Structure formats: structure tokens, C-alpha cells
Amino acid sequence: MGDPSKIRVLHVVGDLSTGGIQQFVMNMLQFSNRAMFEMDVCEMSDVHGGLTEQATRLGSEVFLWPLRHAIISSSLQIVSRLRSRQYHVVQAYRDFCNGIILRMARHVGIPVRIAFYGSINLRQCESPARRFVRRLSQRLVLSDATHILGVSNVVLHDHFQTRATLDSRMQCMYSSIDLNLFQPTYDPRAIREELGIPPDALVVGNVARFAKEKNHQAFIQIAHKIADILPNVRFLLVGDGPLKNRVFHEIDARGLSAKFILPGRYESIPRILASMDVFLFPSLWEGFPFAIIEAQAAGLPCVVSELPVFREEALAPELRDNCFPLENLSQGVERVLDLLKNSEKRRKQGEAARRFAALFDVRNSVKQLEQLYLSSLVPNPQ
């Protein structure tokens, strides 16, 4: 059993590796009021993720829920742990498992049960079995959740259609960032020197996991056309992931190796963003990406794919004309070239981007969620 004087919260995630949901959880662990809240994490995995040690240092207990082996016995152990720890709140972030997690939480009498959705569904890619599991999970969520949160209104509507606006349990909880990290003035020339980028080069960058949805292939296609027009341009791809080797191969096959810099994971994202002139983000789909808010906080004009979340929620109004349809990459080329050739336009859009990003301060988001916990726990858990 935890500290009886505190509200005990359990976050249930796939794992504590890198990603938007994981960063959301880590923000909760770091910025929550520790005098009032005690937060643990359950990883639905056989092994711990790369952020587990950091979560432990922040005072959280982190434990595994292995699903590949001994699923029944491990699930029974989770039920036992839910009882013994006497959590007041369970917050589940696993789209296809949210239903069963909240059913277990309800079974042991946990009063606040939250389903959290961080991405959209790709129904066209679903097998019949996967579709059945998703629908079953949604039924359980609608039956057992006290609150249903999404990182954007687009995500909530994608999962629950008209219910997203009719069900009072549903509300948006935007991704947020630590704006203090973007306050220091970094020296772009020094950063570029570290990365081997010429000081007079124009830099088009991207920060994303090397995965299908981030659409690095489109980035490379756009880069190829831009490089033919502007010889002093460089392209900076920050991140890691399962498709990194494929991205390397595509860059090499197009003869662009001298134009690209791929530093892998970078410890200080605000710092490396300062080396860029334009942020290019041609995603296939997004829930509400941290990266685009971070880029705007760094004062970068952003050129993005035509997705509802960008048009409606995640992009400064002054930047929304920078959206382009993925079926017409030449428009993306034009948008980027227009910004690269016009430093005053870059400056004005950068200022608008900073103003917009200021709306997404992590401290405000954490307080919003803490208030939701407190208002839901009547009488006081103490």
C-alpha cells in the first residue's frame, strides 16, 4: 500500500520507450504535485523501456504486465496489485486494451477510471480479429470509464464519432511541452559546426521516429527536388526507429548522402531545433504530435501534410496555409522553397509559431489533469 495521505495514480502504457504518450506520462511524473499525488507506471510489456530508470528516479514504482507469456497468471497478479496498492485513479493509454484495463479497475473498486487515446485508428489496415478486439474494448470503455480523454478532438471523434461531442465524459487533453526548455538562446552556428553543416547553409529539418506514419519517404522526395534548385540546402533528420536503415538506403540511392545529416537520437531537442530554418513534417497520420508543438516553440515555420489535426488544432493559424496534400508533393516543395527564399516570412511565421506554442505549457496541462482527479474524488481519499 502507498502513502495513505496521497492520491495514488496508476498510468498503464505499452512501455516506457520514446513516443508521444510516453512523454505525456513522463511529464505527469515530473511536474505533478508530489506532496499530493503518488504516481506509478505499469508497462504492458515483457521488458522495461528506456525511460523506466528516469521514472523510477522521479519516485514512481514501475512494474511489468507481460502479455506474451503467462498472460492469465500475470493478469491475476495485476489485479492483486491493484487491490494492494489501493489506487484512486487508473489511467490507461492502450487503445486496444483500455477496455479490459478499466474493467479490472472497476472490479477492484477503483473510483476514477480514465481511458486515454493518443492516436487515430487505421481501420483500413485492420484484420477482422483486430476490429473485433477494438470494438469490444470500446464497449467496455463506454461501460466502465468515468472519463475518456484524447490528445485532440480529431482523435476523440475518430474513436467515438458523434459520441465525442455528446458524451460528457469525453474531453480533450492536448499534448504539452516544457516551454522553459525553449527559453535559452542557442547559437545555431555552433550547433551546425558540431553537425558538420556549413554555416551559410539553409537547413530543412524533422524530428520524428523512423516509422511508417512519419513518412520519411515523402521528406526525401521533397528534399530531392529542393536540392536541385538550392545547392546550399541541407536536410536534418533527427530520431531513430525501425525504418532507419531503409531511410539511409533511400537517401543513398538518390545520391543525397552529402545533403543529409542523421544524428540519431539527440539529447536536447530544443537545441537541435535551433539549427533549422524550416520544419518539414509530411506525416501520413497524427493524433497530436509533440514534435510540431516543439518546432513552433523553437520559432520554426512548419510545412506539414494536409491533416485535420494540423488544420484545426496543432498549428498556428498563420501557418495553416503551409499545409499540402500528400498526393501532390510538388506543393510541399513550393511551400518549403517559398520560406527558404524569404527570410522575413520565416521570421514572421516563427514569431506566430512561438505565440501559439505558448498555449501548450506542460504545467498548465498537469494542473488540468490534477484538477480532474481531485474533482472526481468525492469524498476526499484521505
CATH number at residue 56: 3.40.50.2000
382 is a domain residue: no
Beta pairing partners, 89? 9, 112
Residues 135 and 195 in one domain: no
Least confident of 133-137, 193-197, 377-381: 377-381
Instruction: Say what the pLDDT of residue 1 is.
Output: 58
Residues 111 and 87 in one domain: yes
Residues 143 and 270 in one domain: no
Residues 146 and 197 in one domain: no
2 is a domain residue: no
User: Which residue range(s) make up the domain with 334?
Assistant: 179-360
pLDDT for 382 beyond 60? no
pLDDT for 121 beyond 80? no
Instruction: Say what the pLDDT of residue 124 is.
Output: 57
Residues 119 and 244 in one domain: no
Instruction: Say what the pLDDT of residue 123 is.
Output: 59
Residues 284 and 297 in one domain: yes
Which of the four pLDDT bands, split at 50, 70 and 90, describes residue 95?
Answer: confident
pLDDT for 65 beyond 70? yes
* Angular region, 299: left φ>0, alpha ψ -120 to 50, beta rest: left
Q: Global pTM?
A: 0.88
pLDDT for 71 beyond 90? no
pLDDT in tens, 308-328: 999 999 999 999 999 999 999
Residues 77 and 97 in one domain: yes
Residues 171 and 215 in one domain: no
Which of the four pLDDT bands, split at 50, 70 and 90, describes residue 353?
Answer: very high
Residues 356 and 369 in one domain: no
Give the span between the Cα atoms of 361 and 176, in whole angstroms: 6
Beta pairing partners, 361? 177
Higher pLDDT, 165 or 273: 273
pLDDT for 126 beyond 80? no
Cβ neighbours of residue 342 closer than 8 Å, sequence gap 6 or more: none
233 is a domain residue: yes
Instruction: Say what the pLDDT of residue 4 is.
Output: 76
| Domain count across the chain | 2
Instruction: Say what the pLDDT of residue 120 is.
Output: 83
pLDDT for 356 beyond 90? yes
pLDDT for 267 beyond 90? no
pLDDT in tens, 41-57: 999 999 999 999 999 99
217 is a domain residue: yes
Instruction: Say what the pLDDT of residue 351 is.
Output: 98
Residues 209 and 163 in one domain: no
Residues 217 and 273 in one domain: yes
76 is a domain residue: yes
The whole-chain average pLDDT of the chain stands at 93
320 is a domain residue: yes
